[in-house]
Amino acid sequence: MPLVNTTEMFKKAYEGGYAIGAFNVNNMEIVQGITEAAKEVNAPLILQVSAGARKYAKHTYLMKLIEAALIETDLPIAVHLDHGDSFELCKSCIDGGFTSVMIDGSHLPFEENIALTKKVVDYAHERGITVEGELGRLAGIEDAVNVSEEDAAFTRPDEVEEFVSRTGVDSLAIAIGTSHGAYKSGRKDPKTGEVLPPALAMERIHQIHERMPNCHMVMHGSSSVPKELVDIINQYGGKMPGTFGIPLEQIQDGIRHGVRKINVDTDSRLAITGAIRKVFAESPEKFDPRDYLKPAREAAYKVYVERMQAFGQAGHAGDYKPITLADAKKFYK
């Protein structure tokens, strides 16, 4: 099956009341873990590549790994640029075979964000490629994205309709208090000093969905950061105090109110790191990379299966005949 864009994915997710997990890839083991999990649960899939991952692994290597995954799984897979920060980067990924891109102009004033996003949309839609925009800014660190809590800003529901209509984006990342990384909260109990869970503005998702029920929203920074994965890292020499994630219950509430794409990266990083630390601690004589990368891949695989089931995408790979990019060009015209 050839690579697809996200048009039919989001359409069927909307009709079925579920969301598609978008998982970041950096190397072979991660690609294998994600796609093998998707094959196991029969799920459509979005593989995300950040600018940092593309620089680390090189564009051609990543695309060839994904090409192999298509052959091995025969699943509908979209390849998506995560947090593209310029027209030139988005264009490079589109020209290089990506089927979906995100243009993140959230750091710009509203009108400039619209202008940049529309420029990318115009170029992408002529080629059948879907585009994700962003309104509001998420805090946290992920690859080249580094936004302080002071600079973070929630999405304003009253701006969404204008932004979507003027840009033509296919989906929209919204900021409601989620953040990138494993440290998702700067809130502390004033009495004890203990770190508290992040406070999410879920009502903003509800308001946007009420205003625009067909708007496909995206939740970034939505790893759940399970305590058991952090505990494994700390048990075997890591130092990760005060971590917090996004509860699955809140993510599922978002799905019921129009969220169609959930970004997950940190959870798999935690699983991989814990598994590798465990091998090194228990078997310090090991030096063959296969001895620690295999359990790392298996640990990540379990996370992916759990998330695909929790998001509702499991069992839906065969729900539709994916639109080819050639058909998508006609759709946009």
In 10 A of CB 17, how many CB atoms?
10
Q: Residue 240 phi/psi, 5° resolution? A: -130, 70
Instruction: Evaluate if residue 191 carries a pLDDT over 80.
Output: no
> How far is it, in rounded angstroms, from Cα 101 to Cα 130?
7
- Reported as a pLDDT band with limits 50, 70 and 90, residue 144 is low
- Provide the annotated active-site residues: 82
> How far is it, in rounded angstroms, from Cα 25 to Cα 328?
25
Dig out the tokens for 133 from the structure.
């925009």
Write down the domain spans for the chain: 7-181+189-332
Q: Of 65 and 199, which is predicted with more confidence?
A: 65
Question: Per CATH, which fold does 7-181+189-332 belong to?
Answer: TIM Barrel (3.20.20)
Give the CA-trace dihedral at 48, 26, 230, 247, to 10 degrees.
0
> How far is it, in rounded angstroms, from Cα 82 to Cα 100?
9
> How far is it, in rounded angstroms, from Cα 235 to Cα 27?
26
Compute and round to an integer the Cα radius of gyration of the chain.
19
- Mean pLDDT score of the chain: 90
Q: What is the pLDDT of residue 153?
A: 76
Q: What is the pLDDT of residue 239?
A: 94
**Which residue in 212, 223, 188, 196 sits closest to 23, CA to CA?**
223
Q: Which residue has tokens 């169609």?
A: 260
* 208-238 pLDDT per residue, tens: 999 999 999 999 988 889 999 999 999 999 9
Span of 55-64, 91-100, 144-153 with lowest mean pLDDT: 144-153
Dig out the tokens for 268 from the structure.
């798999």
Instruction: Evaluate if residue 187 carries a pLDDT over 60.
Output: no
> How far is it, in rounded angstroms, from Cα 219 to Cα 181?
14
Contact yes or no for 181/141 (Cβ under 8 A): yes
End-to-end CA distance of the chain: 24
Instruction: Evaluate if residue 181 carries a pLDDT over 90.
Output: no
Span of 15-24, 48-57, 70-79, 193-202 with lowest mean pLDDT: 193-202
Model confidence pTM above 0.85? yes
- Reported as a pLDDT band with limits 50, 70 and 90, residue 185 is low
Amino acid code (one letter) for 186: G
Give the CA-trace dihedral at 249, 171, 201, 141, to 10 degrees.
90
Instruction: Evaluate if residue 38 carries a pLDDT over 50.
Output: yes
Contact yes or no for 139/187 (Cβ under 8 A): no
Instruction: Evaluate if residue 177 carries a pLDDT over 60.
Output: yes
Q: Which residue has tokens 């050639």?
A: 326
Question: In what order do the strands lie in the sheet containing 145-147?
Answer: 145-147, 139-142, 179-180
